[in-house]
Chain A
Amino acid sequence: MARFEDRTREVVFRTQGLTKTYATGEVQVHALAGVDLELYGSELTVLLGPSGSGKSTLLNILGGLDRPSGGRFWFRETELTRASDRQLTRYRRDHVGFVFQFYNLVPSLNARENVQLVTDVAKHPMKPAEALELVGLGHRMDHFPAQMSGGEQQRVAIARAIAKRPDVLLCDEPTGALDSHTGTQVLSTLQRINDEFGTTTAVITHNAAIRLMAHRVIRFQDGRIDRIEENDSRLAATEIHW
């Protein structure tokens, strides 16, 4: 298991006083109330916190799906605070892999084609079959989403996210819809990707048990970072139970 010190200290994401305010009707919701954070290359970070604490909002902004109301943020040397829609699309396409709670596979495409959806437009992608082998689904490539279990669908989603060899992998509740056994499978897939490819990975979860596999754990409370913990010794995903 790679130790924290083995990681490069390259800063992949940096945020400075990041805020996000949603106006829902006449009520102002401060989803992010000033976040200063750095995420490092090859690091696997777990973002923990109750609902509404701001972790998803942060991930959305880092992933280029949303824009901050205040503050600044950088991906490597590039400031993305005021990037245009077109630039953000480009950024997502070239650098970011997403994994969602509800998989979001295209039902009319089979497993391989769902991966191909991304590899067709990426710069240096893996072969779709290779990505599916990595998540242990080499034998299910011609199956459609409706023909697969939840865990299998989520692994296709991971294969789709990693097939373009992204710089960062952003996972929002990847095990939220899965039972413990299947969830463990998915987590170990994520861990393997992080180990083998050194992909900077951020995982949002409600599930505190998952923090044990992370290099660092960032706890959120009321739109701010409550505290950051470093794990000196990490568990393998297969050792985690809930």
Chain B
Amino acid sequence: MDLKLFRDFRRLWVQGVAIALVLAAGIAVIIMSVGMSRALNETRSAYYDSNRFAHVFASARRAPDSLIAQLRDIEGVAQVETQVRSYAILDIPGRAKPATGLLISRPEMGEPLLNVPLLRRGRWPESAGEAVVNEPFAEANGFVPGDRISVNLNGRKRAVTITGTALSPEFVYTIGPGALMPQNETFGILWMQAEVLDAGFGMAGAFNTVALSVLPRTPLEPVKDAVKALLDPYGAATPVGRDAQQSNAFLDAEIQSLEVMAWVLPPVFLGITVFLVNMVMGRIVQLERSEIGLMKAVGYTNWEIGLHYLMLAALIAFLGVGIGWGAGSWLAQAMSQLYAKYFDFPFLVFGVPLSIYALSAMLGLAATSAGALNSAMRAARLAPAVAMAPPAPPSFHGSTLDRLADLLRLGQPTRMILRSLLRWPLRAGMTMLGMALAVSVLVASNFFPDAMDEIIDTAFYQSNRQDMLLLFDPDAPDTALEEVRRLPGVLQVEPQQYHAARLIYGSYEKQVPVSTVANAADLARVVDGNGQVITPDPFGILLSDRLAAALHIKVGETLTVSFESGRRETFEVPVAGIVTQFFGLGAYFSHDTLNAMFRQSPRVSNVNVTLADPQAAEAFQERIKDVPRLMGTINMTENRRSFMETLSQNILIATTVYGILGMIITVGVAYNAARVQLSERARELACLRILGFGKGEVAYILAGEVLLLATLAQPVGWVIGYGVARLMTEGFTSDLYAIPLVLEPATFARASLIVLGAAAVSVALVARRLGRLDLIAVMKTRE
């Protein structure tokens, strides 16, 4: 019996492998998505625990140290850590491009209580002229302890010696102001002694950043409210929890996308496996009726017979799980490397836990067993005498379709195809659904590049057309504009202001940055979903569509805008317009309107610049390092390039992976469907050959059914794919960005071409077996 098992499997190996590959795809995705999300989660919490990552983060303009005791007294608060932080321009010797640094103060004595940085090399600063930098920044620039850079401290340049490198749980994902992804070469964290920052920014006896940890099971909202109340007189922004802490939010997003993948893909692959095993095992039991009868006649029990077929399916599971483990481990490995590149953990991301391997194996075995159960039970229940007799011929009946067939003058081969579909509608439906799912996987994954094209076009080539963005002290007078205009190589300059604000409408509230749009703006413009340039109305505020939706506000209604920077005043303003946007929750005033509202002489918080030759801007870059009040620069040309580079690389990987998955599903379904067809119809097809039908004509009948189903599967797959793509865009939409649902006809066409091509190849492989049909055996035997 065991011998028969392995012989059976050898005979069926192509079919077995085709099913095992579908199963393997599901297993691999489980290993990769469930495994990596668990690994990332555990790595993160281990890091957070050991380095005491805070729970609440808040900032103010300048809060006195006397507040610290009151902050500690808030109910539920465990520890409080205050710091001075500021952005500053860094000048790196031997490099023209300026970098932006985030300066963070270290306590004069001992370690910080929260968000403890981990020293990786060298030592902590011991004097005013020393700093420790974050490791990725050091690696990207090749810094070693002893190297010197200079820091623009509020307009005064100061030489600083690097004494070491460190990592911090606050900066697992390190992203500079205005950047779309980490740019370690041009953005760094600098830990310096508190006295340096106190002196440089006039913060002696004060702080501008506070982090708090809470006791277990403390609700966060009351704590945040209490912190806000204490800091409010000192220019506080609304405190946030870990969910809105930038680095942690990116980790959350990554873990969430892995979890979404774990919920969506494996069920599809396991479901298809159940169906395929069911179809193939059903046919095998049908073919082996007489053997089953014989085995029962010689004394095998029903249980042994049933188990035999379950074991045959289990072999497929072993193969699938084995391949899946291999592929999943490889994918997990690749993901780990990706994480090592983008996430700065002090230790390797933990591997996939063994329990996930065990779980995936159990799911694989469950899927094949579920598929084989029906056939195994049928085999077990078959009475020996019945089993030895040939099965009754399948009965067909006429239907209303016949009249249609007459009307269309369909040939007999076509009728055979159609009748078979109607005779086994469930099987036909499942086969079609399987291939439709393959199409949908391809549509839903391929829509991404089209969506990204649209985002990039709108964000980079329509809205933000500047080469450089210079960030100034929030309250710089607009004479800064003139200073920038005089720098070498500058073509255009445009002023802009950014202010943190709370927007309130009824019971809805949202904290967002409000920006201004210059008169006749050309560089930083507001562009709606149709590519239309929108100019903010001088008497109202312009909101992005997602922000308006979050606030449940419509055009013409009055919004309360409470500024948390600038003059920190509250205004009632009408909503002048709503605009479709993909990035961020934008809110815009006209530049002049805001200055008038604040009753102030024109101010700028950043200046947008275009250069005569962005590729050769050394003179410009050399000079801006000395511009007073300049706190940071964003190289938009660089930003665009790195964003698109990373994106196109990721998209290429994703499309390749999903393309392979789609093909695996198609081949698994189409090949097995055709093989079962061939097995069931071998006699019929041989008979047609005897009657004088050519090989091609016979192949038509064999291929026709599967290819017809593949064709019918296309529109179904498009619809499902559209739905999945929509769900995905909705799932991905957050305050950070929205992904437009852009589905070009080419996306559908590409998905269909791949699936139809894979189906045609699978069927062609099976059709080659037609040449081996034994015409003579057919005449001599009953089925």
Contact = CB atoms under 8 A, between A and B. Distances in A.
A104 interface: yes
B690 A109 contact: no
A92 B694 CA distance: 10
Contacts, number: 95
B285 interface: no
A90 B689 CA distance: 10
Contacts of B113: none
A144 interface: yes
Interface string B381-397: 00000000000111111
A107 B398 contact: no
A5 B393 CA distance: 45
Interface string B682-700: 0110011111111100000
B396 A146 contact: yes
A102 B778 CA distance: 9
What does DSSP make chain B's interface, helix, strand, loop or mixed?
helix
Given A93-B693, A98-B691, A117 B395 contact: no
Contacts of B395: 107, 144, 146-147
B768 to A, nearest CB: 14
B779 A145 contact: no
B471 to A, nearest CB: 75
B416 A92 contact: no
B420 to A, nearest CB: 6
A167 interface: no
Interface residues of A, number: 37
Given A107-B393, A107-B394, A144-B396, A93 B692 contact: yes
B780 A104 contact: no
Nearest to B423: A108
Interface string B401-443: 0000000000111011001100100000000000000000000
A79 to B, nearest CB: 19
B771 to A, nearest CB: 9
A60 interface: yes
A63 B758 CA distance: 38
Contact of B694 (A65, A66, A86, A110): A86
A109 B412 contact: yes
Contacts of A120: 411-412
Nearest to B411: A120
Interface string A59-74: 0100101100000000
Contacts of B392: 146
Interface string A66-94: 10000000000000000001100110111
Contacts of B782: 102
B776 interface: yes
A98 B690 contact: yes
Instruction: Report the contact-size class of chain B (Cβ under 8 Å from the partner).
Output: 20 to 34
A66 to B, nearest CB: 6
Contacts of A117: 412-413, 688, 691
Contacts of B420: 108
A104 B777 CA distance: 12
B601 interface: no
A92 to B, nearest CB: 4
> Which of A104, A142, A146 has the most chain B CB atoms inside 10 A of its CB?
A104
A120 B697 CA distance: 13
B398 A110 contact: yes
B775 interface: yes
Nearest to B392: A146
A113 B412 CA distance: 6
B779 A172 contact: yes
A4 interface: no
A144 B392 CA distance: 13
Contacts of B396: 107-110, 144-146
Nearest to B421: A108
Interface in B666-708: 683-684, 687-695
A116 interface: yes
B781 interface: yes
Given A109-B419, A120-B411, A101 B780 contact: yes
Contact of A109 (B415, B694, B775): B415
B691 A118 contact: yes
A89 B689 contact: yes
Contacts of A116: 412
Contacts of B412: 106, 109, 113-114, 116-117, 120
B660 to A, nearest CB: 36
Q: Considering residues A94, A100, A117, which has the most beta carbons from chain B within 10 angstroms of its beta carbon?
A: A117
A102 B413 CA distance: 21
Contacts of A101: 779-780
A219 B776 CA distance: 21
Given A60-B776, A107-B393, A89 B692 contact: yes
Interface string B743-783: 00000000000000000000000000000000110111110
Nearest to A161: B691
Contacts of A205: none
A113 B691 contact: no
A193 to B, nearest CB: 17
Contacts of A92: 690-692
Contact of B693 (A86, A89, A102, A109): A89
Given A65-B776, A109-B419, A146 B393 contact: yes
Contacts of B394: 107-108, 146
Contact of B397 (A63, A118, A121, A144): A144
A151 B583 CA distance: 77
Nearest to A60: B776
Contact of B692 (A108, A109, A121): A121
Contacts of B398: 110, 142, 144
B680 to A, nearest CB: 10
Contacts of A118: 691-692
Contacts of A96: 692
A175 interface: no
Given A86-B694, A100-B779, A120-B411, A106 B684 contact: yes
A56 interface: yes
Nearest to B782: A102
Contacts of A107: 393-396, 684
Nearest to B413: A117
A104 B415 contact: no
Interface string A120-159: 1100000000000000000000101111000000000000
A29 to B, nearest CB: 14
A110 B396 CA distance: 8
Contact of A108 (B416, B687, B688, B778): B416
The 5 closest A-B pairs by CB, nearest first: A93-B692, A146-B395, A108-B419, A92-B692, A104-B687
Interface of B: 392-398, 411-413, 415-416, 419-420, 423, 683-684, 687-695, 775-776, 778-782
18 contacts: A63-B690, A65-B690, A85-B695, A86-B694, A89-B693, A92-B691, A98-B690, A102-B779, A104-B683, A108-B396, A109-B396, A110-B398, A113-B412, A117-B691, A145-B393, A145-B396, A147-B395, A172-B779
Given A104-B687, A106-B416, A116-B412, 12 more contacts: A56-B780, A60-B776, A65-B690, A65-B775, A65-B776, A86-B694, A100-B779, A102-B782, A107-B684, A108-B396, A110-B396, A121-B692
Interface of A: 56, 60, 63, 65-66, 85-86, 89-90, 92-94, 96, 98, 100-102, 104, 106-110, 113-114, 116-118, 120-121, 142, 144-147, 160, 172
